[in-house]
């Protein structure tokens, strides 16, 4: 995927927002709507082209996309899922663009935050997580970069759910069995049970 490309004759790619081992995230605009509103396109490419891997990745992708749709449709602080599709063995998610900044911009080394500010921030994050966990979903990559503050209302928005990333990390082991190449999450924020492949709801806290 390249800047300037138009996906499905609808979503024109504007810029790269970020990338990881198995995915890339782009800012795009929706050409089907009058004002060409911005959206986010997440592109995932499975590590292995093996047909068995692609089949499993497809099932996982469809399952996780439906989870994201359910979460986004039922909570204002989780991005809405607009579309998800597969094209030539590659997978795409189109989500609501959150106009805001991530919490890394608020956590400045050497500068503390006032207690009321911290209490309000933590409460807002926990309220969103409580909803996610009530759906029996584990985010698996809670960190400042994945917590946005929306400019319009200053509310916290939770982005980049980790489960979808598993689609890209699928491969075959030496015995021909499907396996994940990495534990999903960010090592410096990941609890031990998650690093060992056994995340729980409490792993997000």
CB contact at 8 A, 61 and 86: yes
d(CA 152, CA 202): 30
Cβ-based neighbours of 98, under 8 Å, separated by 6 or more: 40, 79, 148, 150, 157, 159
Q: Strand, helix or coil at 154?
A: coil
102 classed as catalytic: no
CA distance 35 to 47: 37
Q: Which residues pair with 23 in a beta bridge?
A: 44
**SS3 at position 195:** helix
- Cα–Cα dist 27/15, whole Å: 5
3-state secondary structure of 24: strand
Q: Which of 141, 153, 160, 204 is catalytic?
A: 141
What is the set of active-site residues? 141
């Amino acid at each position: 995927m390249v800047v300037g490309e138009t996906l499905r004759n609808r979503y024109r790619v504007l810029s790269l927002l970020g990338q990881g081992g198995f995915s890339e995230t782009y800012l795009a605009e929706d050409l089907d709507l009058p004002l060409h509103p911005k959206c986010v396109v997440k592109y995932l490419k499975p590590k292995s082209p093996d047909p068995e891997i692609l089949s499993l990745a497809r099932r996982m992708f469809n399952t996780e996309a439906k989870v994201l749709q359910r979460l986004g449709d039922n909570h204002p602080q989780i991005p809405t899922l607009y579309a998800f599709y597969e094209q030539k063995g590659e997978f795409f998610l189109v989500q609501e663009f959150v106009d805001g900044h991530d919490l890394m911009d608020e956590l400045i080394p050497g500068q503390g935050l006032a207690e009321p500010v911290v209490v309000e921030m933590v409460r807002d994050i926990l309220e969103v997580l409580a909803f996610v966990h009530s759906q029996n979903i584990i985010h698996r990559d809670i960190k400042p970069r994945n917590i946005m503050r929306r400019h319009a209302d200053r509310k916290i928005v939770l982005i980049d759910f980790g489960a979808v990333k598993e689609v890209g990390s699928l491969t075959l082991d030496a015995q021909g069995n499907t396996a994940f190449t990495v534990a999903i999450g960010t090592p410096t924020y990941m609890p031990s049970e998650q690093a060992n492949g056994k995340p729980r709801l409490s792993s997000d806290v």
